[in-house]
Amino acid sequence: MTQSFQNESSNQTSFNQQQSLNHGGHEQMDLHETIGAIIACMNQSIVLRPHVKDTELLSILDRQYNFTLGMYNTIVESYNTGHDPSVPTGRYQMETGNNFKYGMNPGQPKKPMQNANELSDECISGFLLGAQKGMAKEMTASATETTNPVVRRVVADSIPNCIEMAYEISIYQNMHGYYQVPQFSQQDMQTMLNAYGTTTNPLH
Place domain 24-91+119-177 in its CATH homologous superfamily.
Ferritin, core subunit, four-helix bundle (1.20.1260.10)
Cβ contacts of 149 within 8 Å, gap of 6 or more: none
Question: Cα(26)–Cα(149) distance, rounded to whole angstroms?
Answer: 14
Distance of CA 33 to CAs 2, 127, 133, Å? 46, 19, 14
Distance of CA 164 to the CA centre of its chain: 8
Q: Where are the domains of the chain?
A: 24-91+119-177
Residue by residue, pLDDT tens for the chain (204 residues) are 555 555 555 555 554 555 556 777 778 888 999 999 999 999 999 999 999 999 999 999 999 999 999 999 999 999 999 889 999 999 999 988 888 899 888 888 888 989 989 999 999 999 999 999 999 999 999 999 888 999 999 999 999 999 999 999 999 999 999 999 999 999 999 999 999 999 888 888
60 half-sphere exposure, CB direction, 13 A CA radius: 27
pTM for the predicted model, two decimal places: 0.85
Instruction: Quote the pLDDT of residue 26.
Output: 72
Torsion of CA 78, 41, 68, 178, to 10 degrees: -150
Q: Which residues of 52-74 are buried (b: 16+ CB within 10 A; e: fewer)?
A: bebeebeebbebbbebbeebbeb
